[in-house]
Amino acid sequence: MSQTKIVFLGAGAAGLGIAELCVAQMMKEGISREAAEANIFLLNSKGLITKEKAVNLKPLAQRFAKDLPFTSSLLEVVKMVKPNALLGLSTISGAFSPEILKEMAKINPRLSTISGAFSPEILKEMAKINPRPIIFALSNPTIKAECTAEDAYHYTNGSVLFASGSPFDNVEMNGKLYKPGQGNNSYIFPGVALGAILFKARKIPQEAFLIAARVRSVTYIQE
């Protein structure tokens, strides 16, 4: 993960929380906090969080502010940053457009609550950038997902590594069946909560969630 550039569409509590966990994991892999934060790019309702625009934002958000030209366009950010992963926590349906998905696929060899925020243009751009673009449309419910699973697979020619907050049906394309992943905290919080109750913990450290995520990923591979 330490070599992964991640763009977040959505810089609220959820986006910032996930960004911090990503930074913690990157630091575990041996890079500095400064280098880890440099891999994270945040867009709020106004656009890319840059140093000139971050004055009135929360201190945590300011740490991710970039010395880059401001733009309100997610597609422009994808073209400028060339990220490996695109995470939507915006609730903007369709935010991950076909163009963005295709651009992501171009960048990587292996690939937010406003529905449709990931438009066809954005999806295509991601596909151009990445051979294996990572597209996580995490806004709930399904009608507010940044893009549909069908669009994600279609506009990246099936190269995308896709997950959503709410479940999507399987997608059949070119004679192949694709099973969309689901990135939901329901896979993590029951076990963490039970552990906290059993040990009567007063605080749950960030490390607990990183450990839970690592163990869950190994369990999935074994399945």
| C-alpha–C-alpha distance, residues 156 and 134, integer Å | 10
Partners of 123 in the beta sheet?
99
**SS3 for 205?**
coil
Partners of 178 in the beta sheet?
171
| C-alpha–C-alpha distance, residues 166 and 151, integer Å | 15
| C-alpha–C-alpha distance, residues 127 and 173, integer Å | 16
**Which residues, at least 6 apart from 97, have a Cβ–Cβ distance to it below 8 Å?**
75, 116, 118, 119, 120, 121, 122, 123, 124, 147
Give 92's DSSP letter. Answer: B
**Known binder of ligand: residue 44?**
no
**Known binder of ligand: residue 157?**
no
- Count the neighbouring beta carbons within 10 Å of the beta carbon of residue 213: 13
| C-alpha–C-alpha distance, residues 147 and 138, integer Å | 9
Which amino acids are annotated as binding site, given as ranges?
Answer: 140, 184
Which amino acids are annotated as binding site for (S)-malate, given as ranges?
Answer: 140, 184
